[in-house]
Amino acid sequence: MTRRRVAVLISGRGSNMQALIEAARAEDFPAEIALVLSNRPDAAGLERAAAAGLRTETLDHKRFADRGAFERMLDERLRAHEVELVCLAGFMRLLTAGLVDAWRDRMINIHPSLLPAFPGLDTHARALEAGVRFTGCTVHVVRAEMDAGPIIAQAAVPVLPDDDEARLAARVLAAEHRLYPLALRLFATGEARVEGERVVYAPGTRFPAAPALAPLPA
């Protein structure tokens, strides 16, 4: 089996990155993490990645004259590491159409809501405010519009009556950690692929129906 070379892009603690690192330890996982790159020098995830023996790089966006210069360097670093797929994992920097199109159908993202609901920031506060009974997380193929693009996989998580933002965020995050490796596996093997701006599955794809549905409390 050839393992696809993946770069994980982070900006912070890197818990989703960690979930991908752990999944990629399995011999039959179809991707290897060739690079972890952060746009923030102080991202805690950089240390976690280094501790796992992975190559890390920092590209501090503040050191570039503009978005274009930052993204040209990002593109160069990805190519220098012969990266084939890019996973955004809490990468909190908007990417412009130039870079997104250069990596079209080779860049995926995780977002802590059931898209297209609640794109952007403060997803859990907005879900609580809206009174939805389920929220969750989405792994999707990246397009130039923020938190949009063909959906690879989603996991639903219940919103419970006494939830606050932190409790809900923790429940969704646990689902994220299960969903992202699953989605990357499907995408890296080509079992999930983009067709007409939707993701379709190859016939016979093994896909757990509710991979990350948190159990309801007794």
| Catalytic residue positions, numbered | 111
CB 12 → ligand GAR: shortest distance, Å? 4
149 near ligand GAR (CB under 6 A): no
112 near ligand GAR (CB under 6 A): yes
Report the distance separating Cα 128 and Cα 176, nearest Å. Answer: 18
33 near ligand GAR (CB under 6 A): no
Which amino acid does the sequence have at 86?
Answer: V
- Closest Cα partner for 104 from 62, 56, 150, 63? 150
Report the distance separating Cα 111 and Cα 82, nearest Å. Answer: 26
Q: Tokens standing for 171?
A: 């429940």
154 near ligand GAR (CB under 6 A): no
> For the residues of 121-151, what is the DSSP string, one character each?
S-HHHHHHHHT-SEEEEEEEE--SSTT-S-E
176 near ligand GAR (CB under 6 A): yes
Query: Site residues for ligand GAR, window 178-217 (CB under 6 A)?
Result: none
- Closest Cα partner for 174 from 144, 137, 199, 206? 137
Q: Binding segment for ligand GAR among 47-55, 74-82, 105-113, 158-166 (CB under 6 A)?
A: 105-113
By beta-carbon proximity to ligand GAR, the closer residue of 10 and 99 is: 10
The contact set with ligand GAR (CB under 6 A) reads 10, 12-16, 45, 89-90, 110-112, 147, 173, 176
